[in-house]
Structure 1
Amino acid sequence: MLGRARRLRREMTQPERALWRELRQLRGLGYRFRRQAPIGPYIADFHEPARRLVIELDGDSHADRGDYDRDRDAWMEARHLQVFRISNDDVIADVGAVVEAIVAFRREGGVG
């Protein structure tokens, strides 16, 4: 699992790289995101352990994986992790707005 996570870190997609750059800027607000983080049997795109927050980017590879994604989200939520899903298109269109939505999502307790 760790080897796969390392490979995914090296081979990040353009939307993942763009969001990672912005998430790293949140350190001043106390956020400490990890990228391609192993969590149980899964690898989260981004994980903020202190806030128990998981960010998942959904692109073309998720088109036929609805059941898998629902099962994965349920597994994480059963472990008190909040999952926030974002489309790659939203990151490409306005990564700043995506980061604002992540901060608002967490501030509002993860509902929405």
Structure 2
Amino acid sequence: MDKTAIARRLRRNQTLAEKTLWTLVRNRRLGGFRFLRQVAIDRYFADFVCEAGKLIVELDGEAHEGREDYDEQRTQALELYGYVVMRFPNARVLTDPGGVSDDILAVLRSDRV
């Protein structure tokens, strides 16, 4: 299966946390920054990407438990492409979406962009 088909499948089968965050960032709702979902970068698919801010937002659910080493390697690989990678547990997105949005926006508006 090609990367475009995989990305399409991932977008169709979003978790509740992914749907929640997408509602907050889609259509430039977060500070005017444009986000894309399930973007292929190298051999990975980044959950949410803001190209203008060189930011990747990853959501970690139960599937990430016990995979911390893999997630760290993946983060390091994505950072090699010039991105800052932010990770949030699904539970935080669901219980504190405003706080997650504020944290993302703070990074996007920081001097590092």
Same fold flag (TM > 0.5): yes
Which residue of structure 1 aligns with residue 22 of structure 2? 20
Q: Mark the CA change 1:26 to 1:74 in structure 2 (over 3 Å): closer, same or farther.
A: same
Which residue of structure 2 aligns with residue 89 of structure 1? 91
Alignment of 1:23-42 (within 5 A): 23-24=25-26, 26-27=28-29, 29-42=31-44
Q: Distance in 1 between matches of 2:75 and 2:8?
A: 22
Match of 2:106 among 101, 104, 107: 104
RMSD: 1.6
Name the amino acid aligned to 2:79.
Answer: E
Match of 1:78 among 80, 93, 96: 80
Structure 1 residues without counterparts, runs of 5 or longer = none
**How high is the sequence identity, in percent, across the aligned residues?**
41
Q: Mark the CA change 1:86 to 1:63 in structure 2 (over 3 Å): closer, same or farther.
A: same
What's the TM-score, normalizing by structure 2?
Answer: 0.89
Offset from partner CA, 1:85-108 (integer Å, 9 cap, x none): 011010110111110110012223
Structure 2 residues without counterparts, runs of 5 or longer = none
Runs of 4+ in 1 over 2 A off after TM superposition: 25-30, 105-110
Q: Distance in 1 between matches of 2:109 and 2:52?
A: 13
What's the TM-score, normalizing by structure 1?
Answer: 0.90
Offset from partner CA, 1:52-104 (integer Å, 9 cap, x none): 10000011000021111111110111121100001101011011111011001
Q: Distance in 1 between matches of 2:80 and 2:28?
A: 27
